[in-house]
Amino acid sequence: MSLIGRHVLSSDLFDRDELERLFALADLLAPVARGREVVRVLEGAVMASLFFEASTRTRLSCESAFSRLGGSVISSTGAEIMSISKGESLADTSRVVSGYSDLIVMRHPEESAVHEFAAATNVPVVNGGNGAGEHPTQALLDMYTLHREFSRTGRSMDGRRIALVGDLRHGRTVHSLIKLVSLYRDLTIVCVAPGPLGMPAELLELAEGRGHRIELSDRPESGLKDADLVYATRLQTERFADQPLPYSDEFRIDRALVARACREDAVIMHPLPRDSRPGSNDLATDLNRDHRLAIFRQTDAGIPMRMALFASVLGVADQVPGALRPATWFQPEYTGPDDAPFYRNPAS
Amino acid sequence: MSLIGRHVLSSDLFDRDELERLFALADLLAPVARGREVVRVLEGAVMASLFFEASTRTRLSCESAFSRLGGSVISSTGAEIMSISKGESLADTSRVVSGYSDLIVMRHPEESAVHEFAAATNVPVVNGGNGAGEHPTQALLDMYTLHREFSRTGRSMDGRRIALVGDLRHGRTVHSLIKLVSLYRDLTIVCVAPGPLGMPAELLELAEGRGHRIELSDRPESGLKDADLVYATRLQTERFADQPLPYSDEFRIDRALVARACREDAVIMHPLPRDSRPGSNDLATDLNRDHRLAIFRQTDAGIPMRMALFASVLGVADQVPGALRPATWFQPEYTGPDDAPFYRNPAS
Amino acid sequence: MSLIGRHVLSSDLFDRDELERLFALADLLAPVARGREVVRVLEGAVMASLFFEASTRTRLSCESAFSRLGGSVISSTGAEIMSISKGESLADTSRVVSGYSDLIVMRHPEESAVHEFAAATNVPVVNGGNGAGEHPTQALLDMYTLHREFSRTGRSMDGRRIALVGDLRHGRTVHSLIKLVSLYRDLTIVCVAPGPLGMPAELLELAEGRGHRIELSDRPESGLKDADLVYATRLQTERFADQPLPYSDEFRIDRALVARACREDAVIMHPLPRDSRPGSNDLATDLNRDHRLAIFRQTDAGIPMRMALFASVLGVADQVPGALRPATWFQPEYTGPDDAPFYRNPAS
């Protein structure tokens, strides 16, 4: 399979071989993502960034990745793009913007929109999140982070114990993640959620069909035990309006809980944003200096992984090795002050 | 006449020689616009894109064109720019932004604004649409599309039969188009509109004064007969508030009407967006695979034509031929799946 | 002191030596800022531009400056970025965006926000205005303008008479300016303001502590007498709600007042925007062709000065001299038609 010229609408597009090829390319591009090297393989190319729904994080990450490859970006977001397209079909909008660009990244609140967009053009369309559907570039960066964290501590992906924690019903990131992680072998997948927020049955069946063990739990304290990966998600409170939240503070993952329940070499991830207001039952900030907390290594990983994806889809992956050159501007040794413990004191 | 350093406020700026020079330059730049070649003659230059009124299509097209020439873009739109300029004169805003850029593209809901802008600076100002006034870059891309469609089928522009259809009173695109098309010779211009929406008298006089034949019609079925060009426009329903629309579904241009009324080598254009909702009396989607429908070739043509204009205004047109190099990334053979019939089966 | 890798949060960061180094670098970069030369020392670098509060002028100026150095920009403004970060700490937002970029410019309505941002990352953060706090890049461009205007007329900064006029209580630009200008020697600083809008006492003490003479006045006509610099500010009417404005039209600085009160070689500056509506008591447009009015030379100066700052913070200042090359596109001799008198008839 080749990614050249393909639409990237779902994480179903990727098999294990393709993931490993993307990981290798992302490794090569990581110094560019951190501003230590320069590569200009897409100089002259144009990406259109169309976010019918606001998403600063994903949009900026994609735009930075395309820029780091040497390309230019044209961008429209939210109210502006929505008002313009009044009465115009998504197919027309897509076909028009295809004539302005070499690649389109789009997010839309309706699940079907990205498919209508892709059907109207041969210019590659990358799904930047389609409602309750998929978010394949997030799934890729999650897998890449996991790959790096496990590699660093000498673990392979196969045979690991994976705990998914929180609102597993509504979180599209954990849905995409379970599809990709289950491409590996011999996993134990622990779904830790309050009763009404459990993982959809068809995803459990998919994982079981691929030979993995499933365990269900509604108690984080026991669910996190022995896990190699703890993947926490944000409770999407906007979905519960006036109802009582189905979440107790047991689901607050903080230093005390991690000290009691987690392995010393566990990897703790979260798709962000996390709710840091007092009383939120989310991933706590008192873990910021814990080397197990990989959330910023995770967002950092979005740049090289999206670069790898764009370079693959546009067929310039082979040109990358010969095109790298050193950057000459200042870059801090550690991006965040809290990154230092991680580099100085890798998980033992 | 040279375009170097000129403001582009009206399509009156162009004569027939200038149009042909721009067509030739746009032909040269077309492979760059499609991502097949690269040209970096404006590397280091900055375009300011100031849209006081939303216009995703024109804005993105201009920004892509400037980027394809190697330049950078700074951009402000809608509410942001309007709120900032509270109390500040347009002259001050213009003069300030002139110090940040080499070229300004601006759209403003008031017809006079672009003139105030241009008066305050020597940095070239390009009108991206000024209220009910002009939209010269749209007129240029329309003319370029027409030139290419006719060339492809061995017709010259002179002597053609041109049908303008729809709301000819309010559509600034048809106003600009009639000014430019009438620079050619010996045309028959058929204005097909409901009574109250006819072409303004002064534009009819202009065309007649240049020696063209004018025909008026309120019946599309007969008005489209034998036309080389059918230029349809959107009914600007927002202008009619609660009044009954002065449009019958006779003005819906669809496959059945085209089959009955149009030549086999007619060119069908539309400035877009078209209203694709059920019941709209606009250009119909059932024509999408008809080779006569040139609407996406038309929006595509906006990139090379705007590149040609920017390169001419900034005086780098002569450098283009020596600066072209092949692009090395993937580009689909056909941008839209519906483009294929056109390329495979050119109008006979 | 070196600026490499430093956060730029306050004008306190700069001493006189550092200012002079920045002036020299800005002089070198001025032809690039005007589009006459090209320098690409930041090709491959990415600046993140995060304006939690609208500011077209500062944002576009910073984005143009970074682009003129060869870098790319990712940008988010206003409502979009505010809504996304709901519940997310500024520290998280900062750390995440740091992984996407080499430099962050941010504006926020709360004074403490930029400090929270800077504490969360080692990627340099440049304060683009933090509420009632500071606006250091504006202070730098004001100083650079002053340096150029005085140099052009053979005056040194030391020993000058400086009149600050208008709302000196709320204007953060005059606060930053008094800090920087008082790094020079032997000044007379005249604060001309209505009683309730005087300069804060601690800033007067700072200037006196550095050996400068302070004079207070509430009468522009006498306060402007013999001043080398007249720095006018906008009355921030939004701060007075329903109260009567504490300003008489005596504070309207127009041609008549300037003719009566100002030296022939005075320099008249203003941070812009100025309120040009009838009846506003601001800097008047009838001065536009007066060679003493430096307000557009002042906004122009923002580009080379911000380029100098970014190049210094990212450690590429030394590479600039060897990297300059001529630009080949058109640039007008004078940016504004009103600039001509200045160049033709420099202050005698």
Residues A43 and A190 in one domain: no
The set of chains that have 3 or more CB pairs under 8 A with A is B, C
Residues B266 and B321 in one domain: no
Count of residues in chain B? 348
For C96, which DSSP code? H
Alpha-carbon distance values, A192 to A138, A147, A163, A246, C243 (Å):
21, 22, 7, 13, 59
Q: What is the pTM of this model?
A: 0.96
- Total of domains in chain B: 2
pLDDT of residue B184: 97
User: Which residues of chain B neighbour A96 with C-beta distances below 8 Å?
Assistant: 57, 272, 296, 299
Ranges A104-108, B192-196, C146-150: which has the least confidence: B192-196
pLDDT of residue B277: 84
Query: For B63, which residue in chain A has the nearest alpha carbon?
Result: A74
Instruction: Give the three-class secondary structure for C125.
Output: strand
User: Cα–Cα distance between A317 and A314 in angstroms, integer?
Assistant: 8
Flag residues of chain C having pLDDT under 70.
1, 79, 82-86, 236-247, 338, 340-348
Determine the average pLDDT of the residues in A152-168. Answer: 95
C-proximal residues of A, 65-84, CB under 8 Å: 67-68, 70, 72-73, 77-78
Q: Are A98 and B54 a contacting pair at CB < 8 A?
A: no
User: Cα–Cα distance between A61 and A299 in angstroms, integer?
Assistant: 9
Residue B43 backbone phi and psi in degrees, to 5: -60, 120
CB A203 within 8 A of CB A176: no
Check residues B239 and A202 and name the one with the higher pLDDT.
A202
Minimum distance, in Å, between the CA of residue B88 and any CA atom of chain C = 5
User: Cα–Cα distance between A169 and A156 in angstroms, integer?
Assistant: 28
Query: For C42, which residue in chain A has the nearest alpha carbon?
Result: A329
For B173, residues 6+ apart whose C-beta sits below 8 A from its C-beta are B135, B138, B139, B142, B233, B271
Q: Are C68 and B46 a contacting pair at CB < 8 A?
A: yes
Q: Are A60 and C48 a contacting pair at CB < 8 A?
A: yes
User: Tens digits of per-residue pLDDT, B92-103?
Assistant: 999 999 999 999
Minimum distance, in Å, between the CA of residue B202 and any CA atom of chain A = 31
**CA-CA-CA-CA dihedral for C240, C241, C246, C249, to nearest 10:** 110
CB B121 within 8 A of CB C337: yes
Q: Are C122 and A335 a contacting pair at CB < 8 A?
A: yes
CB C153 within 8 A of CB C265: yes
Asked if the model's pLDDT at residue A76 lies above 50, the reply is yes
Determine the average pLDDT of the residues in A275-285. Answer: 85
User: Which residues of chain C neighbour A342 with C-beta distances below 8 Å?
Assistant: none
**What is the pLDDT confidence band of residue B347, given thresholds at 50, 70 and 90?**
very low
**CA-CA-CA-CA dihedral for B56, B61, B66, B69, to nearest 10:** 150
Residues C183 and C271 in one domain: yes
Query: For C30, which residue in chain B has the nearest alpha carbon?
Result: B99
Classify residue B348: in a domain, yes or no. no
Check residues A94 and C238 and name the one with the higher pLDDT.
A94
Count of residues in chain C? 348
A8: left (phi > 0), else alpha (psi -120 to 50), else beta? beta
Residues A310 and A281 in one domain: no
pLDDT of residue C346: 42
Span between the terminal Cα atoms of chain B, in Å: 38
User: Tens digits of per-residue pLDDT, B44-72?
Assistant: 999 999 999 888 899 999 999 999 999 99
Residues C202 and C74 in one domain: no
**SS3 assignment for C222-237:** HHCCCCCEEEECCCCH
User: Tens digits of per-residue pLDDT, A179-194?
Assistant: 999 999 999 999 999 9
User: Cα–Cα distance between C346 and C339 in angstroms, integer?
Assistant: 11
Q: What percent of chain A has pLDDT over 70?
A: 91
Q: Are A122 and B332 a contacting pair at CB < 8 A?
A: yes
Q: Are B44 and C32 a contacting pair at CB < 8 A?
A: yes
User: Which residues of chain A neighbour B273 with C-beta distances below 8 Å?
Assistant: 84-85, 87-88, 92-93
Q: Are A5 and B330 a contacting pair at CB < 8 A?
A: yes
Determine the average pLDDT of the residues in A158-173. Answer: 93
Alpha-carbon distance values, A288 to A232, A257, A342, C97, C145 (Å):
15, 14, 10, 16, 44
CB A261 within 8 A of CB A224: yes
Last residue of a domain, one of B296, B315, B338: B296
**CA-CA-CA-CA dihedral for A52, A56, A59, A62, to nearest 10:** -170
Classify residue A334: in a domain, yes or no. no
Residues A86 and A61 in one domain: yes
Classify residue C336: in a domain, yes or no. no
User: Cα–Cα distance between C228 and C213 in angstroms, integer?
Assistant: 15
Residues A152 and A284 in one domain: yes
Residue of C100, C126, C67, C63 lying closest to A60 (CA atoms): C100
Ranges A80-84, A140-144, C313-317: which has the least confidence: A80-84
Alpha-carbon distance values, B147 to A279, B22, B156, B179 (Å):
66, 11, 8, 15
Mutate to test the interface with B, among A42, A51, A75, A122 (most CBs of B within 10 A): A122
Minimum distance, in Å, between the CA of residue C324 and any CA atom of chain A = 16
Mutate to test the interface with C, among A42, A50, A64, A77 (most CBs of C within 10 A): A64
E runs forming strands in B186-242 = 188-192, 213-217, 229-232
User: Cα–Cα distance between C242 and B147 in angstroms, integer?
Assistant: 61
Check residues A133 and C229 and name the one with the higher pLDDT.
C229
Q: What percent of chain A has pLDDT over 90?
A: 76
The domain that holds C248 is classified in CATH as 3.40.50.1370
Q: Please tell me if residue B326 touches chain A, with a CB cutoff of 8 Å.
A: no
- How high is the ipTM of this complex? 0.95
Determine the average pLDDT of the residues in A49-61. Answer: 91
Radius of gyration of chain B (CA): 20
User: Which residues of chain C neighbour A327 with C-beta distances below 8 Å?
Assistant: 44-45
Residues C159 and C270 in one domain: yes
Query: For B60, which residue in chain A has the nearest alpha carbon?
Result: A74
Q: Are A64 and C74 a contacting pair at CB < 8 A?
A: yes
User: Which residues of chain C neighbour A59 with C-beta distances below 8 Å?
Assistant: 76
Q: Please tell me if residue C328 touches chain A, with a CB cutoff of 8 Å.
A: no
- Report the range out of A344-348, B331-335, C116-120 with the highest average pLDDT: C116-120
User: Which residues of chain C neighbour B314 with C-beta distances below 8 Å?
Assistant: 329-330
pLDDT of residue A275: 86
Count of residues in chain A? 348
Candidates B39, B60, B330; nearest CB to A314: B330
Please state, as a whole number, how many other Cβ atoms lie within 10 Å of the Cβ of residue C267.
28
Candidates C40, C274, C335; nearest CB to B98: C335
**What is the pLDDT confidence band of residue A240, given thresholds at 50, 70 and 90?**
low
Instruction: Give the three-class secondary structure for C121.
Output: coil
Query: For A42, which residue in chain B has the nearest alpha carbon?
Result: B329
CB C204 within 8 A of CB C230: no
Check residues A79 and A309 and name the one with the higher pLDDT.
A309
Q: Please tell me if residue C185 touches chain B, with a CB cutoff of 8 Å.
A: no
The set of chains that have 3 or more CB pairs under 8 A with B is A, C
Alpha-carbon distance values, A115 to A5, A127, A170 (Å):
16, 9, 21
Residues B51 and B171 in one domain: no
User: Cα–Cα distance between C243 and C262 in angstroms, integer?
Assistant: 32
Classify residue A3: in a domain, yes or no. no
Q: Are B121 and C40 a contacting pair at CB < 8 A?
A: no
Candidates B46, B89, B314; nearest CB to C67: B46
pLDDT of residue C348: 34
User: Cα–Cα distance between A298 and A166 in angstroms, integer?
Assistant: 18
User: Tens digits of per-residue pLDDT, B196-232?
Assistant: 899 999 999 999 999 999 999 999 999 999 999 999 9
Classify residue B47: in a domain, yes or no. yes
Residues C222 and C166 in one domain: yes
Bridge partners of A65, per DSSP, are: none
Domain containing residue A233: 137-296
Candidates C79, C100, C120; nearest CB to A303: C100
C-proximal residues of B, 4-23, CB under 8 Å: 4-5
Determine the average pLDDT of the residues in B144-171. Answer: 94
Q: Please tell me if residue B60 touches chain A, with a CB cutoff of 8 Å.
A: yes
Classify residue B236: in a domain, yes or no. yes
Q: Are C121 and A331 a contacting pair at CB < 8 A?
A: no
ω before B273 within 30° of 0 (cis)? yes
Candidates C35, C40, C285; nearest CB to B102: C35
Residues B161 and B126 in one domain: no
Classify residue B338: in a domain, yes or no. no
ω before C273 within 30° of 0 (cis)? yes
Query: For B316, which residue in chain C has the nearest alpha carbon?
Result: C329
User: Which residues of chain C neighbour B81 with C-beta distances below 8 Å?
Assistant: 56
User: Cα–Cα distance between A6 and A9 in angstroms, integer?
Assistant: 9
pLDDT of residue C78: 76
Q: Please tell me if residue B343 touches chain A, with a CB cutoff of 8 Å.
A: no
User: Tens digits of per-residue pLDDT, C84-95?
Assistant: 556 889 999 999
Classify residue B121: in a domain, yes or no. yes
Residues B104 and B36 in one domain: yes
**What is the pLDDT confidence band of residue B75, given thresholds at 50, 70 and 90?**
very high
Query: For C46, which residue in chain A has the nearest alpha carbon?
Result: A64
User: Cα–Cα distance between C63 and C307 in angstroms, integer?
Assistant: 10
Ranges of H-type helices in C78-160 = 78-84, 90-98, 113-119, 136-152
Minimum distance, in Å, between the CA of residue A10 and any CA atom of chain B = 21
pLDDT of residue B249: 78
User: Which residues of chain A neighbour B303 with C-beta distances below 8 Å?
Assistant: 99-100
